[in-house]
A and B are shown apart, each in its own frame.
Chain A
């Protein structure tokens, strides 16, 4: 068996047999505790500045954003963004209750479909699980409410994110994922951490946006967190 051959060779190199039970228990305890290491200080900020850092980092990575005071303002923000980009007022939307509950009828020109993205969709509307201020990173776990293809197939991706979901460091986002998304210690099939639109520097080491994924990444930030207002 290859498995036994590989493990045997590793153990010979380490000059021991299989780990003694007490040592294995210590390692299992480490896995269960999954201790944090050094976390950079940059994201430990008062809430308003944390959200500002998230948006500033997103912009530095060629993303764009708009802040809206309430969820009710999202349809207008989406419609205005699409118009400003000269895009048709149509998109494929994540079947998430937060998005379904929005007053879309106030913008009757908008049309949408719910579900996963197809190759013909130009714009997707995704629901952000969290935002990480440290590097302006969106956390997008896949699942029935957040199809993964929405992050990949469209030229333009719009993400609705609540300010209350902006955290400082990656570790804080994973704490949320562990509580809300993991079952029996297993994460959802797919978790994407997205930092700006797709890009490549393969041609003469020169950055070009829009390689295989979205060319535009736009965040509509809903200011639902009074603590986070400047």
Chain B
């Protein structure tokens, strides 16, 4: 998809004025944090497991070349094939080539952010292969021609009325006057529609939550079962995965799985955790005849050895989105590309360039909630700060912002001047605002006061009070 990240400010303003989106956000915002908290409280070892998970991923990244080669060797040993792809275009081509070689007309798809990242659907459709999204959320988004707004709950931004309206429009062969009494009726309609697609598909494409070097297996984690139908029924199974998905052993994978569902949906374990290894064996009654792994890089290897390497530990649980006050206010589409929220604010600049995505690391209050809930302990705010520095170094910020920062930096490096300046400013504001108790408008802060009033300072600074308290022996 073409990024609209450069227009983040406009996107965010539009999102905040979108009544439907705000309704959806207000309803769903509190749910994920409450469920995660309950799941974490039910597992006393959770904190220690986070440390374990971080250690496993760090070990893997330090030996990433070795584990990728081991993985590829074992996929081959199991009768499958790994297609190494340097970028999104190569990955799209690799998937298409397999589809064309087997004469595929339709390809069912499990939910995959990788597929969004490489814009696979557009490419397949343009070349005569019809992609069919089968995850319920992805299915309606495909009907609506929209990208997902959340990495694990793609239709996060929709309300029930949106579902009903779209199904009436898209399933026009069904009686127009049918009634959707409850959400279940919507689900049942999608289930029966998609069941036919599963049975007719020539190729099934899934992502991967993990790739296991030890066994050459891919692992997917789902609740609906659509991913499993996708990788079981068609003749050909294609796994689309980026290079940082590899993990050394089954035991390493298990430890990460203990963190994933709890951090994501607050479930103790997802309904289906499936390990796929190679194509159907001689005596297997079901399963695909071909097993392919399209393993792509698309900018990740360039993060290895940099201050952004830790981001490659990400297991895409979405805890950082679910706890982010900015995401919760502007929704996922505002971020303008595939990965929203704090993890996207770090990953997107690395994948599409800080010149395109420079606003994203600024779309943060630095409250650090994301880092505190990240199962992989990724220092997200720190890395957003690194991106801000890079954007500053490359003169990507507007002149006024640069000058403002330079002005502040001058004072910040001169404590005496800083204290005098703040003392004068606070005393003045205190005097001016004594009567009203607040400021409705302030010069140079129009954007800030447009949405709220600034309470009038009491005339003192923190430093002055602290010094006074020390003198009086109260500290």
| B is bound to A | yes
Quick check: A202 and B134 within 8 Å, CB to CB? no
Q: Is B305 within 8 A of A152, CB to CB?
A: no
Contacts A147-B286, A170-B257, A203-B160 known; A14 to B62 CB distance under 8 Å? yes
Interface residues on B, range: 35 or more
Q: Does A196 lie at the interface of the complex (its beta carbon under 8 Å from any beta carbon of B)?
A: yes
What are the interface flags for B185-196 relative to A under an 8 Å C-beta threshold, 1 for contact and 0 otherwise?
Answer: 011100100110
Interface residue from B52, B65, B184 paired with A18 (Cβ < 8 Å)? B65
Bound-state CA distance A196–B45 (Å) is 24
Chain A residues with Cβ under 8 A from B215's Cβ? 182, 185-187
Residues of the A chain whose Cβ atoms lie less than 8 Å from the Cβ of B309: 13
Q: Which of B202-210, B221-229, B341-349, B362-370 contacts A (4 or more CB under 8 A)?
A: B221-229
Report chain B residues within 8 Å CB of A18: 65
Task: Assess whether A31 is in contact with B213, with CB atoms less than 8 Å apart.
Answer: yes
With the chains together, A194 CA to B308 CA distance in Å?
36
Q: Which residues on B sit within 8 Å (CB–CB) of A206? A: 183
Among the stretches B70-78, B332-340, B421-429, the one at the interface with A is B70-78
**B45:A201 contact, CB within 8 angstroms:** no
Whether the Cβ atoms of A34 and B153 lie closer than 8 Å is no
Residues of chain A within 8 A of B67, CB atoms compared = 27
CA distance A119 to B233 in the complex (A): 11
Is there contact, CB below 8 Å, between B223 and A144? no
- B86 interface residue per 8 A CB criterion: yes
B375 touches A (CB below 8 Å): no
Q: Which segment of A82-90, A98-106, A123-131, A208-216 sits at the interface?
A: A208-216
CA distance A185 to B228 in the complex (A): 23
On whether the beta carbons of B272 and A213 are closer than 8 Å, the reply is: yes
Residue B214 lies at the interface, judged by CB distance under 8 Å to chain A: yes
Task: Give chain B nearest CB distance to A38 CB in angstroms.
Answer: 5
> At the interface, yes or no: A107 with Cβ under 8 Å from chain B?
no
B229 proximity list for chain A (CB < 8 A): 152-153, 212-213
Interface check B278, CB cutoff 8 A:
yes
User: Does B411 make an interface contact (CB < 8 A)?
Assistant: no
Looking at the complex, which one of A6, A137, A184, A211 makes contact with B269 (CB distance below 8 Å)? A137
Residue in B251, B276, B283 whose beta carbon sits within 8 Å of that of A35 in the complex: B251
- Give the residue of A13, A149, A197 whose beta carbon is less than 8 angstroms from that of B232: A149
| Residue among B27, B159, B287 with the highest chain A CB neighbour number at 10 A | B287
Residue from B137, B154, B216, B269 in contact with A195 in the complex, judged by beta carbons closer than 8 Å: B269
Q: Is the CB of B232 within 8 A of A199?
A: no
Flag the segment in B97-105, B295-303, B383-391, B393-401 that touches A: B295-303
B48–A200 contact, CB under 8 A? Answer: no
User: Per a CB cutoff under 8 Å, which of B153, B257, B269, B302 touches A201?
Assistant: B153
- A30-B248, A198-B225, A211-B136 known; 19 other A-B pairs, CB under 8 Å? A10-B68, A13-B309, A19-B65, A30-B249, A31-B70, A38-B255, A143-B283, A144-B285, A149-B233, A186-B277, A189-B279, A189-B287, A190-B277, A191-B274, A199-B224, A200-B224, A208-B183, A208-B184, A211-B224
Task: List 12 A–B pairs whose Cβ atoms lie within 8 Å, in order of A's numbering.
Answer: A9-B301, A19-B65, A35-B251, A37-B52, A38-B45, A187-B215, A187-B275, A191-B274, A194-B271, A198-B223, A200-B136, A211-B226
- Residues of A bordering B, CB below 8 Å: 1-3, 5-7, 9-15, 18-19, 23-24, 27, 30-31, 34-38, 40-42, 57, 61, 115-116, 119, 135, 137, 142-144, 147-149, 151-153, 170-171, 174, 182, 184-206, 208, 210-214
